Amino acid sequence: MAASDPTPPLPRRRSAFDAVMAGSSLPMALLIPLWVALGRTWFGPAGWLSHALAFTAGPLLAVVMLLAAARITANAAAYRPFGAPRRTSLLLLGQYAAAAGFGFLLPDFGDGAGVHGSVLSRLAGEEYVGISAGLANPLGIAALGLTVAVLVTAFRDAARTRSLQQAAAGHAPATASAR
């Protein structure tokens, strides 16, 4: 909300969970892609996949997550108390869990000893590389789907907030589709 905008903040019931999720969306938009792309290198495995993710999926994920986080934070600031809508908060939590799990389970392979495996296989043993690979794919798909869902929801929430602000200012009535 701009400083010259006379529209007062909209009242809404929010919990600490909603405020934390909205407030953490910007830092997590940088930390989650970093973890997905390079997290396993902190535990040893650093093969060709880490390099590929660092220059492809990591930056793309960061851009999409930053777009959504900027909308979520701006939208949350339009309400008192500060907070994201509950569905957005739950989608963010699911996105973080799926992406963190993906980064934890995604195995990496490369030349030489000690450059293959996942974080799980480094912590629990090499016999868990197959389990890591099998579980990483569904978590990666879930993380991607939830990332898109968060982005779409963030833009829909912003449109709803604009509609409610206009209705509160007397410019136009809020429509049922703005819910």
Over the chain (179 residues), the average pLDDT of each successive run of 10 is 59 84 96 90 76 88 96 91 93 97 86 70 86 92 97 95 84 53
Q: What residue numbers bound the domain in which 103 lies?
A: 15-108+115-166
Domain membership flag for residue 160 = yes
Number of domains into which the chain is organized? 1
Domain membership flag for residue 178 = no
Q: Which residue has the tokens 């996105």?
A: 95
The SS3 call for residue 116 is coil
Nearest Cα to Cα of residue 93 among 17, 16, 13: 17
Torsions phi, psi for 79 (to 5 deg):
-115, 155
Domain membership flag for residue 4 = no
Say how many CA atoms lie within 13 Å of 86 toward its Cβ: 4
Domain membership flag for residue 10 = no
Question: What is the pTM assigned to this prediction?
Answer: 0.83
Domain membership flag for residue 101 = yes
The SS3 call for residue 158 is helix
Domain membership flag for residue 9 = no
